[in-house]
Structure 1
């Protein structure tokens, strides 16, 4: 298969049906939230009293809008959240997709040169940011250089973060554009402990999900 000569225009992930995508770069994220909420509550049995549904619906919408606001602060492109349509949205897990621009460096001639060494990528793109038990590794995702970071981020009550979380970041080099990197950041609190069985299972699930990642040129 020939190497692509132009950067991809998008990507694909094979997400389960109970995960929803909220686009942040195009369209109206708030309208997407309203549609998600309407879809969720359209499946609630008709015999459930409305006075019980209204507070749940408002809470769901507020939670989704708060997640959207946080993702926008991070300049994200898309936000993915797991829906539990029978009851509520589980905001204990999320995937935030964004784009990272790699700072250029000077080559031997003084001209800008791309950074392609995984160790340098790890230092420039995903060093810092807090957390403990940091695990760095590199490999490929759909034929492109990728760096994976896993860590535990402690709770920060002053910022309204009451529980520690498990974070896994994938940074994937964009083909034919060495200065751009695709970034997928997964976060979960597990069942209240970022190292519990649920957190471990969700991290394994996210790693498996990233094996379905494919670039698109359409």
Structure 2
């Protein structure tokens, strides 16, 4: 089997995609802001809109910078119709390249077996309260990991977040894993009802994941 060249997710219409690795992500963020504010009624005073627009653009560009530092492929954010972005939730898509396993003496390196990698992820210490399980996503071996990430003001994370990662082995290429990382701060904390509902939504979203070949 040849390796897929892409993927598809059935995202709601109020979520936007910002490509991080390819294209001008900063310009894409500015275009999203411009599109959102183009839908604001014309009778709204401009002096009230300008500070909001500048703040929205600043926050989007910060999210893009964070995704780029994480070497992400795409960043997904929920965009409200009123022109506000809800940075209380996000999806960051990236790719993990696995090192090859050393072969026996006189042999070259061998690709890491996805099943062995999954066992290591399942048996690894992910920290207190980490929940790890395995399954399949569009026919590919996958590991789901859920945990609470504490606040870290020194790194710009002022609030604790609930994070769910899907690590999916790429068919036809044992050296690559697809990673979809969802995070939310909830309404009153990462363990509240809103956070629970958003995690359930993300799990449902991942059932729509499909590989694509071009």
- The within-5 A match list for 1:1-218 is 5-107=1-103, 110-116=107-113, 118=115, 120-121=117-118, 123=120, 132-218=128-214
Higher strand share: 1
Say if 2:121 and 2:143, in contact at 8 Å, map to a contact too: no
- CA deviations on 1:11-57 (whole Å, 9 max, x unpaired) are 00000000000001211111111110011001111111000000000
Secondary structure of the residue aligned to 2:37 is helix
- CA deviations on 1:103-128 (whole Å, 9 max, x unpaired) are 22134564423333546336469967
Q: Please, which runs of 5 or more residues in structure 2 have no aligned partner?
A: none
Say if 1:163 and 1:192, in contact at 8 Å, map to a contact too: no
| Rounded Cα–Cα distance in structure 2 between residues aligned with 1:209 and 1:17 | 13
Q: Which moved more, 1:107-116 or 1:36-45?
A: 107-116
Aligned residues: 213
TM-score by length of 2: 0.93
| Rounded Cα–Cα distance in structure 1 between residues aligned with 2:101 and 2:43 | 64
- What's the offset of the Cα at 1:171? 0.7
Tell me: CA distance 1:51–1:217, structure 2 relative to 1, closer, same or farther (3 Å).
same
Q: Which moved more, 1:107-116 or 1:151-160?
A: 107-116
Q: Please, which runs of 5 or more residues in structure 1 have no aligned partner?
A: none
Say if 1:102 and 1:125, in contact at 8 Å, map to a contact too: no
Say if 2:145 and 2:166, in contact at 8 Å, map to a contact too: yes
